[in-house]
Amino acid sequence: MSGKKVELFTDGACSGNPGPGGWGAILRFDGVEKELSGGEALTTNNRMEMTAAIKGLEALKRSCRVDIYTDSKYLQQGVSEWMKGWKAKGWPERIKNQDLWKELDVLIQKHDVHFHWVKGHAGHPENERADVLATGAIAAFR
């Protein structure tokens, strides 16, 4: 792994659950930031939270240490606590969003990834910006 350290701030949003959704991600490396966003016409909030992390990790050009900050306990706990057991059991069919969990698993193997939970809508500047990106992306699908 490279010694490069990247911060990734992510958020997902949904208008209705399910409904049109958006995701936002902010990558920070060496004082430089890049904002990413997108969405889907029919999705769930959890899928958008996961997609934000996936898209952020996909944007990285080389292996590095990545600190991911999310307000989604579902995402943070899924990766930090549940995924190991799912993999050991051969990815049981009952797992919701299994396609995205598997995608995250592959991406996480390429980097030294650490997930951090932050309280949503509590004034965390980057989380608030990621939320604006995510909610703004929904407009294209209304």
**Is residue 132's pLDDT more than 90?**
yes
pLDDT for position 121: 87
**Is residue 141 very low, low, confident or very high in pLDDT (cuts 50, 70, 90)?**
confident
Q: Is the pLDDT of residue 125 over 60?
A: yes
**pLDDT interval class at 30 (50, 70, 90):** very high
Complete domains list, the chain, with CATH:
5-141 (3.30.420.10)
Share of the chain above pLDDT 90, in %: 92
Instruction: Write the pLDDT tens digit of every residue in 108-117.
Output: 999 999 999 9
First to last CA, the chain: 42
Return d(Cα 139, Cα 20) in angstroms, integer.
8
**Diameter over CA atoms, the chain:** 42
Bond into 125 cis (ω within 30): no
Beta-carbon count within 10 A of 87 CB: 12
* Per-residue pLDDT, 1: 52
Which residues belong to the active site? 11-12, 49, 71, 121, 131
Spatial CA neighbour of 21 closest among 42, 50, 35? 42
Asked if residues 71 and 118 have their Cβ atoms less than 8 Å apart, the reply is: yes
